[in-house]
Structure 1
């Protein structure tokens, strides 16, 4: 049997100004709750062995829509948090340009390399996510599991699975409620990646180089 990971980005949060929310614990917007209801209905026939999520409320609350109908516990891991934006948490990009101009320029020029002041860079996210991923793979090999997480966490997992350059993961659009299906036929086989954006009804192949 193959190992299948379903990576789901949590539902929409209340963030019309596009503020930087990484470790800031913001709740789901009502629209995000509706998104998760629809995603749960779309995956209702999928048999899941386990569900993991970050400890941030927007991910935990999203995961419950999938756990409750299956009577599964949601396994919560701080290692699966979004990137820590540090001192720019809660700021808009315009705020960052005004108060942290060097960071703003680096973010535009090399988004996969920028380190946020007082926070993390993409390599830091990988450093905490990859050991977790290896343990999860060991525990749930040849089973289907759901990871309800964040776009930054998903990109770290994609980079680990494929060995691509970090910036290549930025080419994959990951919106609220989007699902990536990652399949490994056996332990040493390459991962096969497929995406089903929110609102779609089928998976399509994803290639990362």
Structure 2
């Protein structure tokens, strides 16, 4: 059985933005490059482009020898971990691409390895050639170099080249450049907060209490001392816009309102305490606690629906603030959801996090889709 190495990459200039992929097939025994593929994809996300590069590389390898085994090497930790079965594939745009890639060869004939970006330069070059050609006005068909047999000696990769093993945590992303860092500030107290009443996006939209305004001022003072915030983005609800305005004034920044950061809509449960809900609607509450797919009664929003909205908002903001530190002023569920998604934790983890009013958390997002949770529920600025 022949063994091939597939190196693949994809990228987008903007996320989403003009995108392309590159892939090559290498004979593992000789180091000879057997085929290359590159294509402009129009406007898609970086992750979609990476999966398209993987798929193109596998199809090219199958065309050369459908009986071969394949070892895929990519600098996308997301693709490698998901295709290896260690991470779940949750994004709707990636699931069909991953399924297509899994069907190219029989199960067990393809293995995956993460490599640093500098070891994936040729696939990256092909992807950039595709994007450059499109930027120059050429059609996607003109950017294809599919199934092209390499003829130059410098195209070969020495057989048995050692790959650097990925490190754990933030070290694995040390070569990815500056991340988009979200500093997550929960709004200050409202009159409903100390009573622990459901207060989502479908309720009375309360403003901050005097305590809440003092908490916002304390958070603003801390963030001003640190001096790292470059932009402020807020949920559209009154309590978050008021908190954001207090902080932004101290930082001399404007506030951008992002609807996707709003709190979950708790439907008919808005304004009730947990105890009141337990007494009045115990079956509905139990069903909600048992499944993230269950929405609160009366037109509420399930945690699954909230997570889908938050993930899309996250991706939008990562693209808009790549390499920058931005303050997101939002609510309990959006912040817990961002933390949960960054940790790839199950939905029930939402019930296992404490998140105080005016607390600070932080997540850094790197170019390969990896994330690093840096802070959770810091309330040190609220102490006397």
Aligning the two structures, in what range does the TM-score lie when normalised by the shorter sequence? 0.7 to 0.9
- Structure 2 Cα separation of the partners of residues 174 and 113 of structure 1: 22
The residue that corresponds to 2:187 in the other structure is: 10
Q: Looking at CA atoms only, which structure, 1 or 2, has the larger radius of gyration? A: 2
Q: 1:112 to 1:174 in 2, by over 3 A?
A: farther
Q: Is the 8 A contact 2:219 2:381 kept in 1?
A: no
Q: Confirm or deny that 1:80 pairs with 2:261.
A: yes
2:208 — aligned with what? 28
> How far 1:134 sits from its partner (Å)?
0.5
Shift of 1:139: 0.8
1:41 aligns with 221
Q: 2:274, 2:185 → 1: CA distance?
A: 25
Alpha-carbon RMSD: 1.9
Relative to 1, partners in 2 of residues 1:91 and 1:111: Cα closer, same or farther, differing over 3 Å?
farther
Question: In the aligned structure 1, how far is the partner of 2:279 from the partner of 2:348?
Answer: 25
1:81-124 CA deviation, whole Å, 9 max, x = no partner?
111110111122233223322112234x4374542012011111
In 1: Cα distance, 2:221 partner to 2:381 partner: 13
Indicate the structure whose relative CO is greater, using CA pairs within 8 Å and at least 6 residues apart.
1
Which residue number in structure 1 is paired with residue 333 of structure 2?
A: 152
Q: Which runs of 5+ in 2 are unaligned?
A: 1-177
User: What TM-score do the two structures reach when normalised by structure 2?
Assistant: 0.49
Where do residues 1-209 of structure 1 align in structure 2 (5 Å cutoff)?
1-15=178-192, 16-23=194-201, 24=203, 25-44=205-224, 45-107=226-288, 109-110=289-290, 112-117=292-297, 118-184=299-365, 186-188=366-368, 190-193=370-373, 194-199=375-380
TM-superposed deviation, 1:133: 1.0
SS at match of 1:181: strand
Separation in 2, partners of 1:192, 1:143:
15
TM-score relative to the length of structure 1: 0.87
Instruction: Give the unaligned 5+ runs of structure 1.
Output: 202-209
Higher strand share: 2
